[in-house]
Structures are given as C-alpha cells and as structure tokens.
Amino acid sequence: MTEPLPAAQEKGARPVWHPSRELLTGSNVALFMREQGVTDYDALLRRADSDPEWFWGAVLGRLAFHRPYDTLLDESAGAPFARWCDGGLTNVALNCLDRYRDTERWERNAVVWEGEDGAIRQWSYAELAADVSRLADGLRALGHRPGDVVGLYMPALPEAVSAVLAVAKIGGVILPLFSGFGAAALAGRLRDAGAVAVITADATLRRGRTVEMKSVLDEAVAELPAIRNVVVVRRLGSQVPWSTPRDHWYHELTAGRREDAPTEQMPADAPMMLMYTSGTTGLPKGTVHTHCGFAAKLVADLGLVMDLRPTDRLLWLSDMGWLVGPLCAVGVPLMGASLLLAEGAPDYPDAGRMWRLVADHRVSFLGLAPTTVRGFMKDGGGGIERHDLGSLRVVASTGEVWTPDAWHWTFDKVCARRVPILNYSGGTEVGGGILGCPVVLPLRPCAFSRAIPGMQADVTDGAGHPIPDGTVGELVIRGPSPGLTRGLWHDRERYLDSYWRDIPGLWRHGDWARREADGYWFILGRSDDTLKIAGKRTGPSEIETLLMATGKVAECAVIGLPDETKGEAVGCIVVPMPGLTWTLALREELAAAVVAGLGVPYRPKLVMAVDDLPKTRNMKIMRRVVRAACLDRDPGDLSSLVNPETVEAIRASRAAEGAGP
C-alpha cells in the first residue's frame, strides 16, 4: 500500500497532550496495573496478549456472579466459537443495578434526560431500578420468558435504558433497532431475529418535527404473527392506532408492579443482545452478545482504557439502534456513572446545542464522531466559545477516521488543549474496541495510542504473515475475547466466511491499519473501500485528508472508479464549505491538492459537488453507497441511512456532470 500521509499522521509526529500525575497514579487503569503488579501500559499489553486468560480473568473479577464460573475460556469448538465463564450464572442487570442496592450510589443520578422541547427528567439509581423492575414484572405477566427476543424501537428516552435492562433482567434477548428505520427494515430484522415483542414510543421530536414511531412499527408487524406484544411509551401523546390485546401502554403495564422483581440467574455466556450490523453486501448480520461478554468488554474499554468513573456524567449522542446506544445504557450504570440522554440532534433547536448540554449538565465525559465535528466546523462552530466546557475531563471519538483539521479544531475548541481525545475503533462484531487511547499515554493527533488489552490485535499481510512496523496491512485479531460476537444469529457459515476464513486462524476485521515502531497505530479506512491506483493500494482517508486540508471542503467521500488505463481511478465526491460557489476553478484546485499530495497517478477522474453524503445515524459516511450511486448500481441495504434521499441526489449530480462543474 502507498504510504504518503498528512503531516499529522507522519512517522515521528510529536505528542500534543501528556497525562497528568493524577491520571498516571489515580486512573482506573493505573490502579488496575498496581493491583496486578504490572509496571506500565506496554507491560500490561504484552502480558494480556500473551496470557489473555489472566487479563480477562482479572477483568471478570470486577463483575458480580450469582454463581462463580468453573472454566474461564473453552476453545474446544475452535477460536471462532469460544465460550466464556462456563458454569457461571450472572446477569447484566445484576451488575448494572442490583449490586448498588443499599450503597451510597443508590440515591445518585443514573439517568438525566433532556427533550428537544426542553423538558427534563432525572432518575436516581433507585428510581431506574424500580422502573426496570416494574417493566420486568410486566413483561413476565405478559408471558415473556428467558430466551425471548424483544425488539427495542425507541428514541433516546429514560425508558429506553429501562427496556435494555428489563429485558436482560428477565433473561430475554434485547434487539436494538434504529429509531429511523422504515417498516421494511424493521420487519426484516424482527422476522430474522424471531422476535416475539417490541417496546416502542408513540412518537419523538427531531429538528422540530414529530416523527411517528408506533404507526411505522404497526406497518412492520402487520404480517409478523410471532409478535405477541407491543409496549408503547407515551412521549408526545400522539394519536396512535391500537390493536387489542397486542398493544399495551408502558405506564399502564408497569403501574402497581413490584419494585423488587427477581433478576433471572442466566448462564454467563447466554445471549443478552442481538445487534444487526449492515455488511457491504447481502442482508444485515445479526451479532450475538452475552451477559458476561458484553459487560467484561465494557469494563475493559470504558472503565480501564477510557477511565469512566462513578463521578462522571457521560453524553454520547447516538441512537439506541447502534452499538453506542447499548454501550451507554449498559456501560454507564455498569461503572456507576451518570448518563445524559438528549432527544433529537446535536445542533437543534440551536446550532450549539451539544455545547450547551455539556455546560448546563456539567458533562465530564463527551463522546462524539469526527463527522459531527466537521458539521460544527462547517456551520462556524455553533457558538462554542459562548459555552463553559470546563467540566469536561475526557472526550472520546469513534465512527470515522479523523482528518487533522477536525482533530485539531476539537483539541483546541472543545478540549482547550487540556482534555484528551480518546480515539476508539472496533465495531458491533467485537462488542467495543480493538484500538484505543489509554489515559496514561501521550496523544498524537489522529492516532490510536495502543491496542486495547486482551484483544491480541496485529497487522498482517493478506495471508496473515506479520509485516514490519510502519507498513500498512490488515487489522486482525489473533484470538477470542469475551466481547466478540458468538457467531451470527442462526448463520454459522456466514460468520466464518465474514471474519475467519479470509485469513485462516485469524479474525480479519476489514480495516487497513499501520502500527509504528513507537507503538502508535493509525486506521486508514475500510479495506473494502480501498482504491488500487496504478497497482498501488490506497485508503480513502489519505485522499480525503488532502481535500479537507484545502479549507474548501466540509465533507467528502473518496471512491474508486473503473479506468481502462489504471484499472481504477480516484473519484472525489465533496460537500463544499458554505458560501463557496462550485466552479471549474475550485474543482481543479481540489484535484491539484490530491496530485500535490500523492502524485500524478492520483489525479482524480471525477471531482463532484453534492449537498450531502449518505450517513448512518452514528455519522458514518457510507462510501460503498456513494460509489454505487455514482456508477448507477444497486447500493444494497440502505436501511441504516439517516438520509437515503442523498442516493438519488448523487445519481442526478453524476448524470449531470457533463453539463458543467
């Protein structure tokens, strides 16, 4: 793969942030290392990778079990189908709520919610636990039992957190569903999962509009007789269609129910959550996460690496249908912290809503996506300078590869150069991260400081052979971890084909990565998005960074286009900065920036302006969809897009390209 990279990602770039003495001695991971007799993070990483059972055993020691496990790791069926904590009984609800009963944490805030209309609600741990118990008791009264799959089609509401934990409490399997899905996407996932119930809301607010949810769900389940019950949260009091005896109001189902309902003692590795993730081809893939596995992974990622503490309040705007939603719903109470939920968008009803939320609610842990940052940059920052962000202690980022301009803007404007940006990359299939930025190591712009302990991460060539530091290759995992999906739902062969068979014996994650000699890592984009220009492989992020560095581009997606001479040529689909007129001169300026950075073979075959790019709700730009639209091909599954109208807009712009710039 070709190596040129922007200055912020060059070898030897100096760290711009260093951990304080307090983090070096008092952070969660510093305390963990002292307990385990490990001298520093690199020593922890080496020991965890060479002896993952030691590391995960120490992490699992921080969880509560109804009955201790007999065997930590059983690989008798092979690494792809490893089992964890055999013989143990536990439950996510035990670890997120029950163990805090009669402690000082019981009366502290667990969930704070702000609606788009300004409404505010607050639940203590005691109040959250009571609501979870009432809902669990209500679900049992409806006949639901361990193993039942229950869909969660919800906006960001306190009841969404309750639903996750209540389904877990009764031993059910929670099925998170994107709140923007249409009926067809909902029906496909509910049918494939074998769901028997759904928890939803009447409607929600987004950018000042009422977004109906119950009526969309009704359309989806009209031909799904397996759905026996639909539980509806009254958010806006909207008139909704009603089907008796299937439909139940949440407040009526939970009224008068017991607030000390028992927590089901589940086999530790029993399914707790079924989460679908869209692939580049074919139907969405159902990943399976377990009670002990998801919890252990969150303790490692949120607790040790990112240092989430009981004193923190976390805001990470996302949808409950993507991994970050359940990560917050489970991970925050798991660590005893406080979760701020916000209905709607980060920039409505005012352009700087996210910054106001941080200031008003004294958020100390903020999660965001680089694409969200670029949106704020495009709109002048949303008045960030008017808000006091002094409560921030940690900023975490995931979803997309950083461009240097967005990273530095965030470090300067949001972090005031004192707060770390903890880069985090992994995915739904691994239940969290593979690479991260532990708070005890210095930060380099756009980089990942290290791999996450216990993940056995490596970079190899296409055959699985180790490659020298500084060389780009496939990001792989060399063994199982508790957070890893337990296969794909009812599809063993697709699971093996998707992750384990391309490089036999290794999990191939699908990202291009590079590890430097000093231990820092860079993600260079999805390997299935890779361009091969004149025989040289190049990640789209390298070219996108050059375009963004001109200051003329708010967002962009670089794709490969068929070319008779080169085999593949560069296509640049860009969203110009506000106020710029799209001209031939601007198009040539952007093409010249690519040539200056990577050479003449990379001169774009296409530089095209559009108003918006197709994105998921968690702000990932879908390059495969952009490419399909440009080539007038079937884009595949679009159910995860928040703005599917962009596909036809790109097609129209491509068709009109011959008429002008």
pLDDT tens figures, 263-283: 999 999 999 999 998 654 457
pLDDT tens track for 38-78: 999 999 999 999 999 999 999 999 999 999 999 999 999 99
| Closest to 183 in 3D by CA, of 171, 169, 172, 198 | 198
d(CA 199, CA 206): 19
How far apart are the C-alpha atoms of 575 and 557, rounded to whole Å?
9
What's the pLDDT score for residue 534?
Answer: 60
pLDDT recorded at residue 565:
65
Greatest alpha-carbon span in the chain: 73
User: Does residue 366 belong to any structural domain of this protein?
Assistant: no
Q: Which of 331, 358, 383 is the last residue of a domain?
A: 331
- What burial class does residue 534 get, using C-beta atoms within 10 Å of its C-beta: 0-12 exposed, 13-18 middle, 19+ buried? middle
Angle, CA 450 vertex, CA 448 and CA 452 arms, to 5°: 110
Please report the pLDDT score of residue 660 as a whole number: 43
pLDDT of 431 strictly over 50 = yes
Per-residue confidence (pLDDT) for residue 5, from 0 to 100: 39
pLDDT in tens, 129-166: 999 999 999 999 999 999 999 999 999 999 999 999 99
First and final C-alpha spacing in the chain: 31
Alpha-carbon gap, residue 571 to 538, rounded angstroms: 13
In sequence order, the 6+-apart residues with CB closer than 8 A to the CB of 594 are 543, 546, 547, 570, 572, 602, 603, 604
What residue type is assigned to position 640 of the chain?
S
Q: In angstroms, rounded to a whole number, what is the distance separating the alpha carbons of residues 427 and 287?
A: 11
Which residue bears the tokens 């989430």? 308
Dihedrals φ, ψ of 100, to 5°? Answer: -90, -10
Report the pLDDT value the prediction gives residue 602, as an integer from 0 to 100.
Answer: 86
The residue type at 503: I
Element (H, E) at 223: none
Contacting residues for 153 by C-beta, under 8 A, at least 6 apart = 177, 179, 181, 186, 198, 199, 200, 213, 217, 321
Three-state DSSP class for residue 129: helix
Range of the domain at 309: 64-331
402-428 residue pLDDT tens: 889 999 999 999 999 999 999 999 999
Answer with the one of 285, 315, 331 that is the final residue of a domain.
Answer: 331
pLDDT given at position 4:
34
> Mean pLDDT over residues 500-510, rounded?
92
What sign does the dihedral 436-486-319-136 (CA atoms) show? Answer: negative
| Contact residues for 501 (Cβ-Cβ < 8 A; gap 6+) | none
Outline where 510-583 has alpha helix (H).
540-548
On whether residue 260 sits in a domain, the answer given is yes
AA identity, residue 234:
R
Q: Residue 206, CB half-sphere, CA atoms under 13 Å: how many?
A: 15
d(CA 261, CA 32): 34
Q: 62 vs 33, 65, 299, 326, 505, CA distance in Å?
A: 14, 10, 8, 20, 30
> Measuring CA to CA, which residue among 262, 260, 232 is closest to residue 246?
232
- From 291, 311, 331, give the residue that closes a domain: 331
Q: Which pLDDT score, from 0 to 100, does residue 510 have?
A: 86
pLDDT at residue 8 tops 50? no
pTM of the model as a whole: 0.86
- Tell me the C-alpha distance between 299 and 295, whole Å: 6
Q: Could you read off the pLDDT of 329-384 as tens digits, one per residue?
A: 999 999 999 999 999 999 999 999 999 999 999 999 999 998 899 889 988 999 99
Decide if 426 is inside a domain.
no
CA-based R_g, the chain, Å: 24
Which helix (H) or strand (E) segment holds residue 372: the answer is helix 370-378
For residue 522, list its beta bridge partners. 514
- Count how many domains the chain has: 2
Q: 206-210, 528-532, 651-655: which range is least confident on average? A: 528-532
Percentage of the chain exceeding pLDDT 90: 79
- The number of helix segments (H) and strand segments (E) in the chain equals 20, 32
SS3 for 293-354 is: HHHHHHHHHHHHHCCCCCCCEEEECCCCCCCHHHHHHHHHHHCCCEEEEECCCCCCCCCCHH
Instruction: Judge whether residue 172 has pLDDT over 60.
Output: yes
- The domain that contains 577 carries what CATH number? 3.30.300.30
**Comparing C-alpha atoms, which of 587, 641, 651 is closest to residue 614?**
641
Tracing tokens 């987004």 back to the chain, one arrives at 206
Q: Whats the size of the chain, residue-wise?
A: 661
The verdict on residue 525 lying in a domain is no
Q: What's the pLDDT at 2?
A: 32
Give the rounded percent of residues in the chain with a pLDDT score beyond 70.
95
SS3 471: coil
Q: Is the dihedral of CA 327, 333, 335, 337 positive or negative?
A: positive
Q: What is the CATH number of the domain that holds 100?
A: 3.40.50.12780
Asked, for residue 310, whether it belongs to a domain, the answer is yes
> Mean pLDDT of all residues in the chain?
92
pLDDT in tens, 227-247: 999 999 999 998 999 999 999
User: What pLDDT, on a 0 to 100 scale, did the predictor assign at position 153?
Assistant: 97
Question: What average pLDDT does the segment 87-103 reach?
Answer: 97
Domain membership flag for residue 442: no
How far apart, in whole angstroms, are the C-alpha atoms of residue 492 and residue 496?
A: 6
Residue 403 backbone phi and psi in degrees, to 5: -100, 145
In a domain, 408, yes or no: no
- The per-residue pLDDT for 566 is 65
In a domain, 462, yes or no: no
Mean pLDDT across the stretch 513-542? 80
pLDDT tier, 563 (very low <50, low <70, confident <90, very high otherwise)? confident
Residue 395 has φ and ψ, to the nearest 5°, of -120, 125
